[in-house]
Amino acid sequence: MPETSTKPYLIRAIYEWCTDNGFTPYVAVFVDANTNVPREFVKNNEIVLNVSFDATSGLDMGNEWITFSARFGGISRKIDVPVENVLAIYARENGQGMAFPVERSVPETQAATERENNPPPKLAPVESETAETPAQGGPDDDDTPPPVPRIGGKKPSLKVVK
């Protein structure tokens, strides 16, 4: 019998830790053909979703799938994410959590369509150090991205667990 992956158990553990400590759990997801999320919020084949109790309805974090309903721009949408596509789960407030390796294979036709629909932005010269934020989109009706947590002036980082 094949061994069960630890990934869904670790995702549920970090989710529980976030909720126990009053943090907002976010999941970063690699979007492919198996992922059912609002495509208008996908950037670079990734989406960040708020999976807190207040933002979701019917949340089910199984061993193979994470499923729930959430509101995007006031419209309820059904979300289906394969656990294997979860890139990270972390607390919005402080960035603490866990990242996971994900096989990123996107069919060339889909990748070409993504490039056409989302051309790279024109970059302006950087005059000061800026923080990079993940692609946003999620159950929050708020269009503002979450703040980038700063602890001692350093950007928090997630460790890859194998």
Q: Is the pLDDT of residue 108 over 90?
A: no
Report the alpha-carbon distance of residue 144 to residue 142 in Å, rounded: 6
**Residues with Cβ within 8 Å of residue 121, at least 6 apart in sequence:** none
**DSSP class of 36:** B
Alpha helix stretches (DSSP H) within 104-145: 108-117
Angstrom distance (rounded) from CA 73 to CA 56: 14
Contacts (Cβ under 8 Å, ≥6 apart) of 14? 25, 89, 90, 97, 98
Q: How far apart are CA 26 and CA 91, in angstroms?
A: 6
Residues 1-51: tens digit of each pLDDT: 778 899 999 999 999 999 999 999 999 999 999 999 999 999 999 999 999
pLDDT for residue 151: 46
117 neighbors 62 (Cβ within 8 angstroms): no
Instruction: Write the class of the CATH domain 7-117.
Output: mainly beta
Q: Flag whether pLDDT at 74 surpasses 70.
A: yes
Predicted local distance difference test score (pLDDT) of residue 150: 47
The whole-number average pLDDT for the span 130-147 is 48
| Range of lowest pLDDT (21-25, 67-71, 136-140, 143-147) | 136-140
The pair of structure tokens assigned to 3 is 């061994």
Q: How confident is the model at residue 135 (pLDDT cuts 50, 70, 90)?
A: very low
- Burial readout 34-64 (b: 16 or more C-beta within 10 A, e: otherwise): ebebbeebbeebbbbbbbbeebbeebebeee
